[in-house]
Amino acid sequence: MIQNYVRTATTSWRNQSPAFRVIRLWLGITWIYAGWDKASDPGFLTSGSPSYIGTQLSGYSTQSPVGFAFNKLIEHAVLVGGFVMVSEFAIGLATLLWVAPRLAAFGGFSMSIGLWLASSFHASPYFLASDSAYAVLWLSYLLLIVGTGKRKGFEMSLERRGVLRVGITGVLAVAFAGAGKIFAGATPSTNSSAASSAGTKIVKLASLKVGSTFNFAAANGAPAVLFRTKTGVFAYSAICTHQGCTVAYSNASKTLQCPCHGAEYDPFKSARVINGPTQTPLAKIKVSVKGAWVVQA
């Protein structure tokens, strides 16, 4: 079986044109690298870490044109993160080893479209968004496979008898994800204060009345809320410390409320928890007034 697995992969490389091989090699390696990048990041599945998948989903939910869909995924962030990581390994390995190649190409295309909608939809000019470029590359690669398959009948027959090969590739993908965790550093960094970039302008002070709030994206892309009171300005991450949903300020109760499981935070007392299933206050974001602007300090 293993011999057959290796022979199929070898034959496929031999039978393809140089252009085909270049695209296939690039896409396969890139997807495996993307999976490894997540698997070896100790913070990716750790709530409270700057690179936590829940934080990323929370950012997507406020920026993406289909943000409502990402908002629903926040509660299952660890599951989503694990699925994305293993899928990236599976797509990359399947591409390099020629296992269900059309399915792998379609998976890569769908994932690129998803990432484009999630994080780079507003990139301007559009050609700076690598996700859309990858979507076009995967689509071209898929069309190449379909075209070649029609001419030779080669890939079609391989795909039909590939159930076991798909199974082996799936096991390999999970093993790679596990190996990444072993190589990962032991301690994720946590964001007692969200990641910052000194001096990032948030809003003009003149447009923020005393007693008002302003929602903004922190330097790490995650949603945040800014407050102006008689005594100055302060801000918190809007990511709930329970499972990462996005909190919103309620004028009626003067609290920050989480729509998922009802956590409530008091923004005027260091965002301490008043209600709900968490004990951890919201992360503080350092802000200050510089000239006419409120900036992330």
Contact residues: ligand FES, CB under 6 A: 240, 242-245, 258, 260-263, 276-277
Spatial contact of 243 and 54, defined as CB atoms under 8 Å apart = yes
At residue 106's C-alpha, the angle toward residues 102 and 107, to 5°, is: 115
Question: Please, what is the minimum distance in Å from the beta carbon of residue 251 to ligand FES?
Answer: 19
- Please identify, using beta-carbon distances, which residue of 107 and 267 lies nearer to ligand FES: 267
Task: Give every CB contact of residue 55 below 8 A, 6+ residues apart in sequence.
Answer: 49, 220, 222, 239, 244
Spatial contact of 64 and 123, defined as CB atoms under 8 Å apart = no
Q: Tell me how far apart the alpha carbons of residues 113 and 135 are, in angstroms, rounded to a whole number.
A: 6
- Please identify, using beta-carbon distances, which residue of 23 and 240 lies nearer to ligand FES: 240
CA torsion angle 126 132 137 140 (round to 10): -90
Q: Tell me how far apart the alpha carbons of residues 262 and 277 are, in angstroms, rounded to a whole number.
A: 8
Question: Please, what is the minimum distance in Å from the beta carbon of residue 247 to ligand FES?
Answer: 7
Question: Please, what is the minimum distance in Å from the beta carbon of residue 244 to ligand FES?
Answer: 6
Tokens of 109: 């295309």
Spatial contact of 129 and 114, defined as CB atoms under 8 Å apart = no
- Please identify, using beta-carbon distances, which residue of 170 and 281 lies nearer to ligand FES: 281
- Please identify, using beta-carbon distances, which residue of 55 and 243 lies nearer to ligand FES: 243
- Please identify, using beta-carbon distances, which residue of 181 and 261 lies nearer to ligand FES: 261
Question: Please, what is the minimum distance in Å from the beta carbon of residue 98 to ligand FES?
Answer: 42
- Please identify, using beta-carbon distances, which residue of 47 and 169 lies nearer to ligand FES: 47
Matching residue, tokens 């100790």: 42
Question: Please, what is the minimum distance in Å from the beta carbon of residue 212 to ligand FES?
Answer: 24
Q: How far is CA 225 from CA 50, 172, 176, 230, 250, in A?
A: 17, 43, 39, 17, 12
Beta bridge partners of 239: 246
Question: Please, what is the minimum distance in Å from the beta carbon of residue 246 to ligand FES?
Answer: 9
Question: Please, what is the minimum distance in Å from the beta carbon of residue 118 to ligand FES?
Answer: 19
- Please identify, using beta-carbon distances, which residue of 149 and 277 lies nearer to ligand FES: 277
Phi, psi (rounded to 5 degrees) for 208 = -115, 105
Q: How far is CA 206 from CA 75, 99, 209, in A?
A: 37, 60, 7
Question: Please, what is the minimum distance in Å from the beta carbon of residue 243 to ligand FES?
Answer: 4
Tokens of 220: 């790490």
- Please identify, using beta-carbon distances, which residue of 130 and 275 lies nearer to ligand FES: 275
Spatial contact of 223 and 64, defined as CB atoms under 8 Å apart = no
Pairing mode of beta strands 284-285, 272-275: unpaired
